[in-house]
Amino acid sequence: MNAEKLSPPEQICKFMSRIYEAKLTTVSGGNLSLKDLNGNIWVTPSGGDKGRYHSEDILKISPEGKVEGSKKPSVETGIHRSILADRPEFKAVVHAHPPGLVAVSLLRELPETMLIPQTANSVKNMKLAAYGCPGSEELKENVAKEFRDNPNTNVAILENHGAFVASEKSLMHAFGVFRDLDFSTRIQAKAQSFWGRPPKLISQEQLEYYNRSAVSELGVFKQETVSDREMELRKDICDFCDRAYRRDLFTQNIGVISARLDEDSFLITGSGADNAELTVSEVVKIQRDLVEEGKKPSRSVMLHKKIYEDNPEINAVIMAAPENAMIFAVTDLEYDLKTIPECYIVLREKISKFPFGSTIDRQEELAQYFRTRSPVAIVENDCYICTGTNIFNAFDKLEVIEFSAEAVFNGKLLGGPIKSITEKQVQEIKTQFGI
Ligand SMILES: [Zn+2]
């Protein structure tokens, strides 16, 4: 669903609730603002339950500064108004205290943005704003000046506090940048802790290559009627997107699901769609070399197409970058499948790693790998690709990967070392489960 169709107060309630539900703030922390077409700024109130705001709680501030509403505006309203006044191109501002970004704010450092392409593309010239007491003129000026003095800056990390993210597009976009940056910072922290050194980053050249490849090579067809089976499959994709989002396997922007419809066609999530609220009409049909008219499929569509063409037994593909599993995608550490029997039973011998950019230039190799080697692949600094006989089957693999990775990470926190199961025990699993 496109949140931008909602009224400004409804959008603010929706994304404040999203921030709270995603555990990116406490019940009392964080504030949002949104500028409407008349130049009014809508802001969250001071205090209250951040997870349960209603439209009537949201305040309107006119361009002249007149406040309308039954509550007191957020204590950080001054910062929101300064950012929106100094940088008229911005439409929305998000502020909260998510644990990943607060962690770097405690070190008074900035997080890496070149860890995954989503943050590399969305975070511009991030700045560190000097400490100030919440609600003070000092904090307002410390934050406002970073946005005012740096014309392309869209993110500021506040020392010992949290982050401000502004967007020239929408509140939904600001939330997406905020969420993905916190998510990427958590991956950075876990990878560094596990590996004992900073994680691997993508270069500017690699990013440019990745971005250039977004152009689809597909023509267009007009969708006439939708069969019952296609409608069911569209609903399944939406349901699993929602589930993956709620279980922190997807973010709003990161995560793709596709499923085979028949010999000639498959369905895939759309580019720019909101994974938390995907609707059946946002799912895109690909038929041979044609894409459904008026829709833009995920940028990875050509890889999905190749996998289906070369692997008749594969009927679903999920691409995701879950927090714990990504430790192994941004370091040289191997993902060990011989940890718990469930992991071995679902994922088998070995998950191979492919270099960043392989979703673009190693499609043939990846399709062959899924046919002959393993149902799951890691693409460095990008994602995991899980294939299956249906969506449930591919989703199961994704969950097992993330849960096992979290268990291994926690084992390491407990002092390690992790002890793998032996070859004899593997043989016993193979016999027991007929593998
Ligand atoms: Zn704050």
pLDDT of residue 1: 61
pLDDT of residue 214: 64
pLDDT of residue 216: 67
The Å distance, Cα 143 to ligand 1 centre, comes to 11
Pick the closest to residue 59 from 189, 76, 333 (CA basis): 76
Q: For residues 231 and 285, give the distance between their C-alpha atoms in angstroms, rounded to a whole number.
A: 11
The Å distance, Cα 121 to ligand 1 centre, comes to 25
Domain positions in the chain: 3-195, 217-433
> Can you list the alpha helix ranges (DSSP code H) found in 214-354?
228-246, 301-310, 341-347
DSSP H or E stretch at residue 379: strand 376-379
pLDDT of residue 435: 78
pLDDT of residue 210: 93
The Å distance, Cα 161 to ligand 1 centre, comes to 6
The Å distance, Cα 29 to ligand 1 centre, comes to 6
Domains 3-195 and 217-433 share a fold: yes
CATH class held by domain 217-433: alpha beta
> How many other CB atoms are there within 10 angstroms of residue 209's CB atom?
15
Q: State the CATH architecture for 3-195.
A: 3-Layer(aba) Sandwich (3.40)
Q: What tens-digit pLDDT sequence spans the chain (435 residues)?
A: 677 788 999 999 999 999 999 999 888 888 999 999 999 999 998 877 777 888 888 999 999 999 998 888 888 999 999 999 999 999 999 999 999 999 999 999 999 999 999 999 999 999 999 999 999 999 999 999 999 999 899 999 999 999 999 999 999 999 999 999 999 999 999 999 999 999 999 999 999 999 987 666 789 999 888 999 999 999 999 999 999 999 999 999 999 999 999 999 999 999 988 999 999 999 999 999 999 999 999 999 999 999 999 999 999 999 999 999 999 999 999 998 888 888 888 887 789 999 999 999 999 999 999 988 889 999 999 999 999 999 999 999 999 999 999 999 999 999 978 888 888 988 888 888 887
**Ligand 1 is a single-atom ion; what residues have CB below 5 A from it?**
162
The Å distance, Cα 295 to ligand 1 centre, comes to 39
Both structure tokens of 191: 């990878």
The Å distance, Cα 291 to ligand 1 centre, comes to 44
The Å distance, Cα 356 to ligand 1 centre, comes to 36
Pick the closest to residue 204 from 122, 114, 299, 112 (CA basis): 114
